[in-house]
Amino acid sequence: MGANTLKTALFLTVLTLLFMTVGGLLGGSSGMMLAFVLAFGMNMFSYWFSDKIVLKMYKAKEISETEAPELYNIVKRLTIKGDLPMPKVYVIQSPNPNAFATGRNPEHAAVAVTTGILKLLDNSELEGVLGHELAHVKGRDILIGTIAATFAGAIMMLANMAKWAMIFGGFRDNDNRNPLGMIGVIVAMVLAPIAAMLVQMAISRSREYIADQRGATLSGNPLALASALEKISYGVKKAPLNANQATAHMFIMNPLSGKKNMANLFSTHPPVEERIRRLNKQAKGL
């Protein structure tokens, strides 16, 4: 098991423990269960219909082998090598050079690329990018992201429930029984959602590192993927995609602007320089 896989497991454990602790303190057992059920329901709907929702959002068009033989055959070759079912292949009309994978499992997967990335990359670089996306499919990263989003969403719901309970006096009766006290509850309401979001973002970044490593192994050329990431980073800055913030984590690189966030802790993607450094190191190992 790799270091990033262990990190993912650790972060999910931390998120679970944070939910249980905050849930017990802010909402009690009944409030905790209600928040979890609501968050689970919303995220499972998104998980089950993720392919249809996201592809429709970006007006992606499914293509056949005859319409785009090079693209289709690269995906086909990688799926055979990776022992994966053949996913549906989509193209999005956008100058933003990007790609993403979606679908609830490998049997219902889809990969989508923009026209911008098809123009920007050569075949070996494109193969590295598609290997990265298929690594997400094989690693069931949509499911892992849904689990993380469920716990993070439940914690945010608990904080909102506590806020409204405080406004309407719901905490007065329980104030003596709550070990945090009123000040502690307020602090937990503010800090718990931030902590949950930080852990959720850390999980997303760890899965990107894993997909880079596994995708480079699948394509057989870490340097090509490193070159692709460098080109994509530059291309995204020139042509940002009018993307939904909620789906930005799905792309191989944040499509919104390409600018660095105020802090990497709040980013869904690792710094591109670090991704390239790791891929160069992987190439030396090969």
Q: Which amino acid is at 94?
A: S
DSSP for residue 132? H
CA distance 235 to 238: 5
CA distance 59 to 57: 6
Which residue among the candidates 65, 70, 125, 133 is catalytic per the annotation?
133
Q: Give the 3-state secondary structure percentages of the chain, helix then strand then coil, rounded to 5.
A: 70, 5, 25
Q: Which amino acid is at 87?
A: P
CA distance 212 to 54: 22
**110: three-class secondary structure by DSSP:** strand
Is residue 62 part of the annotated active site? The answer reads: no
Catalytic residue positions? 133
